[in-house]
């Protein structure tokens, strides 16, 4: 049984205040997301935690069925230069990994984090899981796991829009799955 209050204290201790508990059954898994990865993302085939180095669509569907609780973390930011996004997301993702570890150590052995952006723990990705320099820290993004982030977060009354340039404020989302 998940003690939400206990876990929320951990989230707050890391200054993550904007989150919602959700039922993983309400996570929208869509095949179009994988197509966007394959045709339109320069990380496809070049990142250890991105497709094709990520589970198949059907494996993603099965994975989410194994969970009873999930948390969506919302992050908002505006960066002056596009490359600044990766510094910001790396910092947040490293803090989220600490939360995942604390949740695991509190008795939730299936705790699993999906980063709010592609895995950019390393300055330069080796491109293959077998060559990953940080396999213990590497995590897929929600999109790598076929999550339709737009539909999922809108279901939970979070803002999200397609941005046309970096002068606009970003809304990013990470997911923590908990049993």
Q: What is the DSSP letter of 131?
A: G
Q: Could you give the CA distance from residue 66 to residue 179 in angstroms, rounded to a whole number?
A: 8
Q: How confident is the model over 39-44, as a mean pLDDT?
A: 90
Write out pLDDT tens, residues 45-63.
888 899 999 999 999 999 9
Q: Could you give the CA distance from residue 30 to residue 41 in angstroms, rounded to a whole number?
A: 16
Write out pLDDT tens, residues 59-79.
999 999 999 999 999 999 998
Write out pLDDT tens, residues 120-170.
888 888 888 888 888 889 999 999 999 999 999 999 999 999 988 878 899
Cα–Cα nearest to 144, from 13, 46, 22:
46
User: How much is the pLDDT for 122?
Assistant: 84
Question: What is the average pLDDT value for the chain, to the nearest integer?
Answer: 93
Percentage of the residues of the chain whose pLDDT score is greater than 70? 100
pTM of this structure: 0.94
Phi, psi of 132, rounded to the nearest 5 degrees: -60, 130
Write out pLDDT tens, residues 79-88.
888 888 889 9
Angle at Cα 118 formed by Cα 112 and Cα 122, nearest 5°? 95
């Amino acid at each position: 049984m998940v003690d939400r209050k206990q876990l929320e204290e951990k989230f707050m201790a890391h200054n993550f205040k904007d989150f919602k508990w959700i039922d993983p059954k309400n996570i929208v898994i869509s095949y179009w997301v994988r197509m966007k990865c394959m045709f339109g993302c320069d990380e496809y085939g070049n990142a250890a935690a991105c497709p094709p180095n990520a589970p198949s669509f059907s494996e993603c569907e099965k994975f989410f069925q194994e969970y009873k609780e999930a948390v969506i973390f919302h992050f908002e930011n505006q960066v002056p230069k596009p490359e600044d996004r990766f510094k910001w997301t790396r910092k947040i993702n490293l803090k989220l990994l600490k939360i995942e570890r604390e949740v695991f150590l509190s008795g939730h052995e299936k705790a699993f984090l999906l980063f709010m952006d592609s895995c950019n723990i390393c300055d330069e990705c080796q491109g293959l899981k077998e060559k990953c320099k940080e396999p213990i820290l590497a995590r897929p993004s929600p999109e790598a796991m076929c999550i339709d982030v737009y539909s999922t977060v809108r279901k939970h009354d979070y803002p999200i829009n397609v941005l046309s340039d970096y002068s606009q404020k970003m809304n990013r989302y990470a997911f923590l799955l908990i049993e």
